Amino acid sequence: MTTRGGAGPSFRVWAVPGLPEVREGDDLAKLIAAAEPGLADGDVVLVTSKIVSKAEGRLVAADDREAAIDAETVRVVARRGTLRIVENRQGLVMAAAGVDASNTPAGTVLLLPVDPDASARAVRQGLREALGVDVGVLVTDTFGRPWRAGLTDVAIGASGVRVLDDLRGGVDAYGNPLSATVVATADELAAAGDLVKGKAAGLPVAVVRGLGHVVGGGLGADAGSGSGSGSGSGSGVDADGAGGDSGARALVRDSRDDMFRLGTSEAVREAVALRRTVREFTDEEVDPGAVRRAVAAAVTAPAPHHTTPWRFVLVESAAARLELLDAMRDAWIADLRRDGKSPEAIARRVRRGDVLRNAPYLVVPCLVMDGSHTYGDARRDTAEREMFVVAAGAGVQNFLVALAGERLGSAWVSSTMFCRGVVRDVLGLPGSWDPMGAVAVGHPAGAAPARGERDVGGFVVVR
């Protein structure tokens, strides 16, 4: 038993002895009630996910643990040797998708509960029926953490516990406003329980008493609020998370707000996958600093002869964008008329440039041939230019991927290549700069549609 406190607030935490080996179909609530009949309103019961999984029949045959990890993986975040950090089916980012091969019969692995929040609700309801008490329940599992050595328990399922304590809008002891403080209460409770459960002591359940203010709600209007133990949140976040019965799902950071969503080398593929052609943008302004950071990534691309063949013209002025796009439109129309296109065909083709006109920010990448070699031989001179063109394309690809990392959408349109002289004149560029299309940049107006899978074998020839 651990006691924390003294003159101020305090709590107790202890492991529950006497639980039998859990098997598929066992009623966890009844087992816990029998082992700890003295549970009281406002207690928090911490249940290791392993026994939840066993009771729910998540022990599966799997001679190959790696194949089981594959089956539970939604996204690979990072890999080092055989160790994989992945996002699993429950939306948790963790090692090996939570697939556990320890303390299981040979040829089997244990998967995480399908819905840990539902598991927590079932145990909580069962304890209420068995003992007539209103407790909070957390389903816990062991996680590593970015930037920190060692493991700790966190909550992956919750019922009747205020998983987040939102202190924003309050003040500290010196009267300073709290603008970013949201405490992961459920994870702190899980870690406290792990101190007494241990990793190898065979004690899968712990109880925290004395923190009844984090417990209550979530089982209906008749669930009550405890027996004077201070249940109720008082922070605008209800007992099951940030509004509604959200359970531990509220602890999983939304991908849009996750600054560390992309991992190590494998995440390069994820970054490339994030790069999608976006044709509709919101009116939100684009941060010029984000574009400059993307340019910094662009100019790391490989190039021939130690040259720097890229230049990026940032058309930040709305007036400059309008002047450029109007001049380009007039040049296209003149070309199409010379080609004998009908007015309808011309209008249809000109509309393809609307993505540039509707974007709040425009970038014109240019190719410069400074440092290129002249051979006086048409074949070799053509190959020399092609090397520089390839390098320019690599720079633009870096640029587009970096924009995606900044949560900006983009569309690379080849239009400026068909009226390079016009573009140079309007933007006042040197005659040696070749505009290589234009990139529309902005905040996407909606989610991109799912990308169709392509068979890599169709693009590979082996000799």
Residue 128 reports pLDDT greater than 80? yes
The reported pLDDT for the residue numbered 79 is 77
Residues of the chain above pLDDT 70, percent: 88
Give the mean pLDDT of 365-376.
94
* pLDDT one-digit tens code per residue, 2-17: 555 455 689 999 999 9
The reported pLDDT for the residue numbered 240 is 41
Maximum average pLDDT range among 135-149, 209-223, 261-275: 135-149
Q: Greater confidence, 402 or 179?
A: 402
* pLDDT one-digit tens code per residue, 57-112: 999 988 788 889 999 999 888 777 778 889 999 989 999 999 998 878 888 999 99
- Please choose, from the candidates 285, 281, 287, 278, the residue with its C-alpha nearest in 3D space to the C-alpha of residue 358: 281
Give the mean pLDDT of 322-338.
93
Q: Considering the domain 275-459 in this protein, what is its CATH number? A: 3.40.109.10
The reported pLDDT for the residue numbered 270 is 60
The reported pLDDT for the residue numbered 263 is 62
Alpha-carbon distances of 244 from 162, 182, 185, 438, rounded to whole Å:
11, 17, 17, 46
- Rounded to the nearest 5 degrees, what angle is found at the Cα of 358, between the Cα atoms of 291 and 431? 60
Q: Are 410 and 361 in contact (CB under 8 A)?
A: no
Q: Which residues pair with 409 in a beta bridge?
A: 442
Alpha-carbon distances of 233 from 166, 185, 230, 242, 263, rounded to whole Å:
10, 11, 9, 11, 35
Q: Where are the domains of the chain?
A: 2-58+113-257, 275-459
Q: Greater confidence, 378 or 172?
A: 378
Alpha-carbon distances of 123 from 50, 161, 337, 369, rounded to whole Å:
14, 13, 74, 70
Q: What residues contact 296, with CB distance under 8 A and at least 6 apart?
A: 402
The reported pLDDT for the residue numbered 217 is 67
3-class DSSP state of 425: helix
Q: Identify the weakest region by mean pLDDT among 19-33, 165-179, 215-229, 292-306.
A: 215-229
Maximum average pLDDT range among 127-131, 218-222, 223-227, 352-356: 127-131
Residues of the chain above pLDDT 90, percent: 64
The reported pLDDT for the residue numbered 255 is 75
- How do beta strands 44-48 and 136-145 pair? parallel
Rounded CA separation 106/132 (Å) = 40
Q: Greater confidence, 224 or 30?
A: 30
Give the mean pLDDT of 23-29.
96
The reported pLDDT for the residue numbered 1 is 53
3-class DSSP state of 19: coil
Residue 273 reports pLDDT greater than 80? no
Rounded CA separation 213/211 (Å) = 5
Residue 340 reports pLDDT greater than 60? yes
Paired tokens of 294: 């993307």
- Please choose, from the candidates 62, 59, 40, the residue with its C-alpha nearest in 3D space to the C-alpha of residue 49: 59
The CATH number fitting domain 2-58+113-257, selected from 3.40.718.10, 3.30.1330.100, 3.40.980.10, 1.10.150.390: 3.30.1330.100
Q: How confident is the model at residue 236 (pLDDT cuts 50, 70, 90)?
A: very low
The reported pLDDT for the residue numbered 275 is 81
